[in-house]
Amino acid sequence: MNDRTGHRRVRRFAIATAVVLALAGTNGPWAYRFGTEKYHAYVINKAEYKADNGHWDVLEFPEEYRQDTIHAALLRTGKVLLIAGSGNKQANFDAKRFDTRIWDPVDKTVKKVPTPKDLFCTGHTQLADGRLLIAGGTKRYEKLKGDVTKAGGLMIVHNENPDGPVTLPAGTRFTGKENGRTFLSKDPVLVPRAKKVFDRKTGKFLRNDPGLGRIYVEAQKKGSQYETGTQDNYRIGGLSGAEARNTYGIAQKLALDKKDFQGIRDAFEFDPVAEKYIKVDPMNEARWYPTLTTLSDGRVLSVSGLDDIGQLVPGKNETFDPATRKWTYIPKIRQFPTYPALFLMQNGKVFYSGSNAGYGPDDVGRDPGVWNVDTNRFTRLTGLSDPDRLETSGTVLLPPAQDERFMVIGGGGVGESRLSSKRTRIIDLKADNPRFVDGPTLEKGTRYPQASVLPDDTVLVSGGSEDYRGRGDSDILQARIYRPDTDTFDRVADPLVGRNYHSGSILLPDGRVMFFGSDSLYGDKGNTKPGEFEQRIEIYTPPYLYRGARPDLSGGPRTIARGGSGTFTSRHASSVRKVRLIRPSASTHVTDVDQRSIALDFTTSGDRITVTVPGNRNLVQSGWYMLFVDDGRGTPSKAQWVRVP
């Protein structure tokens, strides 16, 4: 492992080893454990240890405010939005008990917020005006094989009439022509009109291509006798005449197999000042586990997810226009697994790292590459090690963002695979022929690693588990700080709480990092007890905040245009060595495509610092940012909030 250790590792472990040996030899197992725990607490709270390794603190909300946090985003007010929805609990879903909290890390207060839909496994991104766009969520929880009592599945409804669409209400009956079995639709469906096809050269009419609708259907009664084994055509009840002839269903096997989660179309903006959800137009496609990525022109791209019948959205991607608050399909089809890590590049194209979070075939949309959304051209990128272990990996844009270097961290095999990777892979997208190369390795194969960009141009990498959802008590209580300038990891203080599935991290305006969530499948090493959701928050204070006084920063404009400048005041202006503009995070399922740290040019004069924002709109997307200044020791100021219009 390419950790830098030196005197730090000696200081951390040499004395501890001597104490451990003495206790083990004289006082037996209980005294050994008690003594080592006390000594460990003593060591990690020493000033010199904190200055080298940082420090972790656990925060537990009052019981009435606790929740199973799945999503978190830093708001421009400095508060943190914590979204649970139903929190991966069927009972909450059935009771329509959906939760959101707002936590103020300065005042140390927490507030409940009414939550309009089940925003469990939604997508989100920061908008230019400081609101958070939230789209998708849960319509139905999965049912495992054995729990499914009524045969069901996907029905494709065909409409061969070119003169008009057909709307079928929920409860429509579909009866198989060969098998004679009847199934009922669970929701209404609009089936578009057929499309007339003509010969391009002669203009002669060739055929009607039927309009297609997709709907989930279920048997009327329980039991395996209602399963179907093969494809069949289905007559549709309630239709007559030409409409009955032109409209029909086709379904493959309708069975008692596992039924996946289903998504919703609903979308909202969260207002950080009013602290409430505001409904906007729904998406065209229902999505569960989607990714939202802001494009060059400010539109937000919505990609992937499971749809309203539990199928992977078939490549129908769409954009949200913040000006009109409406969604529009993009004309080209491209399919990705759920929660794909998609980042806007400085040339306006989109980089896909291959990282994703869990649903979809193992041979569809998993190759990393550069996607031109306008032309749909996708250029694959090579060199990626452990390419079969990208699910639940993390991807981070390394600081400063101008370098356009990305790191892909860890990951695991598709689905519930036991495979995991200890690799990190780095790619320089500004190179003439970009390809991945291996960076420093982790000590263990790591699924669900959390990565947060820090204002001193380093990256905190922490947590995760070796196995799927922490199976076998495999949480990794380790943290490292990656230094892009030397391509090395420094092992730092170990976290106190394990974090695996449904966890994330957020950089706070004071330079600390907040960690949330974790949803272990089991609660013991033998995998015999159900796991419990981790509701505690953990705060990591990096070493740079234990080095004495930090530079101050005040005054200055609230808005700086791209290419423009602003002047701020600091008593430590002469010691400032870096200025960074950091976009606030929106994190879930090891996916945070918002965070980026942009280097700003600056000049100083007396107690004044004048900073200049780069002009590239793809590098500096419109929105609110945290402005940090760092001194010669790498100690950052507290952030000033600045808007780039």
H or E element, residue 18: helix 6-26
Taken in order 86, 89, 92, 94, the sign of the CA dihedral is: positive
Instruction: Assess whether pLDDT exceeds 50 at residue 5.
Output: no
pLDDT in tens, 593-613: 999 999 999 999 999 999 999
pLDDT of 21 = 41
Query: Token pair of 249, please?
Result: 């269903």
pLDDT of 31 = 57
- Model confidence band, residue 36 (pLDDT cutoffs 50, 70, 90): confident
Asked if residue 234 lies in contact with residue 176, where contact means CB atoms within 8 angstroms, the answer is yes
Instruction: Assess whether pLDDT exceeds 60 at residue 539.
Output: yes
- Model confidence band, residue 229 (pLDDT cutoffs 50, 70, 90): confident
pLDDT of 34 = 62
pLDDT in tens, 346-368: 999 999 999 999 899 999 999 99
pLDDT in tens, 542-565: 999 999 999 999 999 999 999 999
The number of helices, as runs of H, and strands, as runs of E, in the chain is 5, 49
- Model confidence band, residue 134 (pLDDT cutoffs 50, 70, 90): very high
Residues 6+ apart with CB under 8 A from 539: 56, 57, 58, 59, 105, 508, 512, 513, 514, 515
Cα-based distances in Å from 136 to 288, 302, 573: 6, 10, 45
Mean pLDDT, residues 385-405:
98
H or E element, residue 275: none
Asked if residue 520 lies in contact with residue 467, where contact means CB atoms within 8 angstroms, the answer is no
- Model confidence band, residue 205 (pLDDT cutoffs 50, 70, 90): very high
The angle that helices 28-44 and 6-26 make with each other, rounded to 10 degrees, is 150
> In the chain, pLDDT over 70 holds for what percent of residues?
95
pLDDT in tens, 403-436: 999 999 999 999 999 999 999 999 999 999 999 9
Mean pLDDT, residues 511-526:
97
Peptide bond into 116 cis (omega under 30): no
- Model confidence band, residue 29 (pLDDT cutoffs 50, 70, 90): low
Asked if residue 589 lies in contact with residue 69, where contact means CB atoms within 8 angstroms, the answer is no
Question: CA-CA distance, 413 to 419, in Å (whole number)?
Answer: 5
Residues 6+ apart with CB under 8 A from 294: 125, 126, 127, 300, 301, 344, 621
Q: Which domains does the chain have, with CATH numbers?
A: 3-36 (no CATH), 45-142+260-546 (2.130.10.80), 152-251 (2.40.30), 565-644 (2.60.40.10)
Name the average pLDDT for the chain.
94
Instruction: Assess whether pLDDT exceeds 60 at residue 16.
Output: no
pLDDT of 12 = 47
Mean pLDDT, residues 561-584:
97
Collapse the DSSP code of 533 into the 3-class scheme (helix H, G, I; strand E, B; otherwise coil) and give the result: strand
Q: How far is CA 482 from the centre of its chain?
A: 21
> In the chain, pLDDT over 90 holds for what percent of residues?
91
- Model confidence band, residue 42 (pLDDT cutoffs 50, 70, 90): confident
Query: Token pair of 354, please?
Result: 């291959």
Instruction: Assess whether pLDDT exceeds 50 at residue 66.
Output: yes
pLDDT in tens, 270-300: 999 999 999 999 999 999 999 999 999 999 9
Instruction: Assess whether pLDDT exceeds 70 at residue 125.
Output: yes
Question: CA-CA distance, 626 to 75, in Å (whole number)?
Answer: 11
Asked if residue 611 lies in contact with residue 566, where contact means CB atoms within 8 angstroms, the answer is yes
- Least Cα distance to 517 among 504, 532, 531 occurs for 504
Instruction: Assess whether pLDDT exceeds 90 at residue 18.
Output: no
